Amino acid sequence: MTKTIVIDPITRLEGHGKISIFLDDQGAVEDCYFQIPEFRGFEQFVVGRPLEELPRIVTRICGVCPASHHMASAKAVDACFGNEVAPVAHKLRDMYYNAHYIHSHTAHFYALAAPDFVMGPDADPAVRNILGVVGKVGLEIGGKVIRCRGLAQEIQRVIGGRNTQDIWCLPGGVAKPLKPEELEQIKPWVEELYDFTVFSLQLFADVVLNNPQYVELILRGPYTLDVHSMGLVDDNNAPNFYHGKVRVVDYEGNEIHKYEPKDYAEYVAEHVEPWSYLKFPFLKKRGWKGFVEGIDTSIYCATPLARLNVADRMATPRAQEAFEQMYATLGGHPSRALLAQHWARLIEMVQNAETLKAYCADPEITSDQVRVIPRTITGEGVGIVEAMRGTLTHHYTCDEQGICTSANLIVGTTNNNAPIHMVTKKVAQALIKPGVEPDQGLLNMIEMAFRAFDPCYSCATHSLGKMPLEVIIYRGGELVKTIKRNC
Binding residues among 172-191 for other proteins as defined by CB under 8 A: 172, 175-176
Contacting other proteins within 422-451 (CB under 8 A): none
Spatial contact of 127 and 485, defined as CB atoms under 8 Å apart = no
Q: Which range of residues in 60-68, 190-198, 245-253, 354-362 is near other proteins by CB under 8 A? A: 60-68
Among 26, 140, 235, 274, binds other proteins (CB under 8 A): 274
* Beta carbon nearer to other proteins, 52 or 354: 52
Could you tell me the smallest distance in angstroms from the CB atom of residue 207 to other proteins?
23
CA–CA dist 81, 372 (Å, integer): 11
Q: Is 231 one of the binding residues for other proteins (CB under 8 A)?
A: no
Among 181, 212, 400, 487, binds other proteins (CB under 8 A): 487
Q: Is 83 one of the binding residues for other proteins (CB under 8 A)?
A: no
Contacting other proteins within 104-143 (CB under 8 A): none
* Beta carbon nearer to other proteins, 50 or 317: 50
Could you tell me the smallest distance in angstroms from the CB atom of residue 439 to other proteins?
16
CA–CA dist 59, 105 (Å, integer): 19
Nearest alpha-carbon partner for 44 in 408, 413, 400, 378:
408
> Between vectors from CA 440 to CA 8 and to CA 473, what angle results, nearest 5°?
50
Q: Is 239 one of the binding residues for other proteins (CB under 8 A)?
A: no
Q: Is 234 one of the binding residues for other proteins (CB under 8 A)?
A: no
Contacting other proteins within 360-389 (CB under 8 A): 371, 373-374
Q: Is 207 one of the binding residues for other proteins (CB under 8 A)?
A: no
Q: Is 147 one of the binding residues for other proteins (CB under 8 A)?
A: no
Residue at 463: amino acid letter: S
CA–CA dist 134, 239 (Å, integer): 32
Could you tell me the smallest distance in angstroms from the CB atom of residue 205 to other proteins?
29
* Beta carbon nearer to other proteins, 236 or 378: 378
Could you tell me the smallest distance in angstroms from the CB atom of residue 404 to other proteins?
9
* Beta carbon nearer to other proteins, 171 or 231: 171
Q: Is 253 one of the binding residues for other proteins (CB under 8 A)?
A: no
- Total residues contacting other proteins by CB under 8 A comes to 94
Long-range Cβ pairs for the range 393-401 (8 Å, 24+)? 393/72, 393/261, 393/264, 393/268, 394/58, 394/69, 394/72, 394/73, 394/75, 394/76, 395/76, 395/264, 395/265, 396/46, 396/51, 396/54, 396/76, 396/77, 396/80, 397/80, 398/51, 398/80, 401/50, 401/377
Q: Is 61 one of the binding residues for other proteins (CB under 8 A)?
A: yes
Contacting other proteins within 9-48 (CB under 8 A): 9, 11-12, 14-16, 18, 20, 22, 31, 33, 35-41, 43-48
Q: Is 463 one of the binding residues for other proteins (CB under 8 A)?
A: yes
Among 292, 295, 436, 464, binds other proteins (CB under 8 A): 464
* Beta carbon nearer to other proteins, 124 or 252: 124
Q: Is 154 one of the binding residues for other proteins (CB under 8 A)?
A: no
Q: Is 461 one of the binding residues for other proteins (CB under 8 A)?
A: yes
Q: Which range of residues in 165-173, 229-237, 322-330, 350-358 is near other proteins by CB under 8 A? A: 165-173
CA–CA dist 486, 467 (Å, integer): 9
* Beta carbon nearer to other proteins, 97 or 214: 97
CA dihedral 92, 197, 222, 37 (to 10 degrees): -40
Among 226, 273, 293, 312, binds other proteins (CB under 8 A): 273
Contacting other proteins within 285-344 (CB under 8 A): 288
CA–CA dist 179, 160 (Å, integer): 11
Contacting other proteins within 386-405 (CB under 8 A): 395, 401-403
Which residues are within 8 A (CB) of 324 and not within 5 positions of it... i.e. 6 or more apart? Answer: none
CA–CA dist 407, 73 (Å, integer): 10
CA–CA dist 461, 9 (Å, integer): 13
